[in-house]
Amino acid sequence: MNQTSAAFSIASRPHLEKIGTTIFTVMSKLAADCGAINLAQGFPDFQAEPALFDAAHRAMLAGRNQYPPMTGMPELRRAIADKVATLYGTQLDADAEITVTAGATQAIFTAIAAFVGAGDEVIVFEPVYDSYAPAIETVGGKVVYAQLAAPDFRPDWAQVAALITPRTRLLIINSPHNPSGALLDAADLDALAALLRGSGIVVLADEVYEHMVYGGARHASVVAHRELAARSVVVSSFGKTYHITGWKIGYVLAPPALTRDFRKIHQFNVFTVNTPCQLAIAEYMQDHSRHLGLAAFYEAKRDFFRAQLAASRFELLPCRGSYFQLARYDAISDLPDDEFAIWLTREAGVAAIPLSAFYSAGNVPAARAARIVRFCFAKQEATLAAAGERLRRL
């Protein structure tokens, strides 16, 4: 290296300096290093059905290996439209209102980049999934935090109303909610619609756990709410639905005007998603029982995991959806949640996520002191039983 190149340096942009490695990467690495059971990162430790892989293989052998359309394979977009019509009674134009994405995270980032500019404000609900704020700040937006309080994590719509200003451009909702497992219901959507009526605010609805709703409840999708659907970008994930998080395939539903702007960014930050896997999912979706049966499948896992911890000193919070279980540990330790999560991984051999990882810097101290961690129960029963045995010893 010559002297000139050795002396070269560049300062990070201010918003990047405060962004570290995501907590999911940190805790999964720690779990691997310690040989711990990983209930931290949200991915299954079991396979999808062979029929899905067989369909992808057939598409590959049939030569379907070149670029698909930027918007996604027509077969998959039609299958999504059929699912939405069946589940939510909403007829979508597969060409003008559905876009296949490289997973939900890309869809969320693309939507934020499409609709948020420098100085625009975005309202999010805290605890908040950790990709939202960095994406907002990357495009020059300002994050505004509404609060969801334990144990039920319900939105206070009066509080949200007070946060709206002339600079509010986007509002992000997430139901079923990660990390709490809370649900928005029809009354919440009505309240949100009334709140936004007459404004130009866009709603970004993160619904990746839409099929994981328990106790006989129905998922209240924004796409089924006529007034909200007209101003919303709805995100879902095949990775979550079909146990294939590594495939990184999701989709966005939005009215034509919002879809046009979304695709302007989508075409340049990912363009499209691999062809054979899109075709495989389109074929696999024809059997609706594969997503309709997901609620019962994961509710059984939730109940099994909760039963494993029934004799422990953890206090389990309500879980109405998603595949995450929050647990209070103050009867076990006085450690703040980030330190407890590390201790739990190293000493007890079970990895979890500290709830404070889902809070903004100013609220982290209070979140740490609440002594709550998040477990993922999207695991085989043997995995959950082994984790339960270790957690009951504490």
Q: What is the DSSP letter of 345?
A: I
> Can you list the domains of the chain with their CATH numbers?
11-41+293-392 (3.90.1150.10), 50-290 (3.40.640.10)
Residue with tokens 């990162």: 41
Q: What is the pLDDT of residue 1?
A: 45
Q: What is the residue-level pLDDT of the chain in tens, covering all 394 positions?
A: 455 555 666 666 776 676 777 788 888 899 899 999 999 988 999 999 999 999 999 999 999 999 999 999 999 999 999 999 999 999 999 999 999 999 999 999 999 999 999 999 999 999 999 999 999 999 999 999 999 999 999 999 999 999 999 999 999 999 999 999 999 999 999 999 999 999 999 999 999 999 999 999 999 999 999 999 999 999 999 999 999 999 999 999 999 999 999 999 999 999 999 999 999 999 999 999 999 999 999 999 999 999 999 999 999 999 999 999 999 999 999 999 999 999 999 999 999 999 999 999 999 999 999 999 999 999 999 999 999 999 999 9
Cα separations in angstroms, 219 against 174, 175, 176, 177, 210: 12, 8, 8, 11, 6
Sign of the CA dihedral with 170 first, then 176, 181, and 187 last: positive
pLDDT tens-digit readout, 90-100? 999 999 999 99
Q: Give the whole-angstrom CA distance, residue 137 versus residue 121.
A: 10
Residue with tokens 């004799």: 311
What's the farthest any 2 CA atoms get from each other in the chain? 68
Contacts of 4 (CB under 8 A, 6+ apart): none
Q: Give the whole-angstrom CA distance, residue 336 versus residue 92.
A: 47
Look at residues 373, 298, 365, 367 and name the one whose alpha carbon lies nearest to residue 340.
Answer: 373
Cα separations in angstroms, 178 against 16, 19, 131, 245: 24, 20, 12, 16
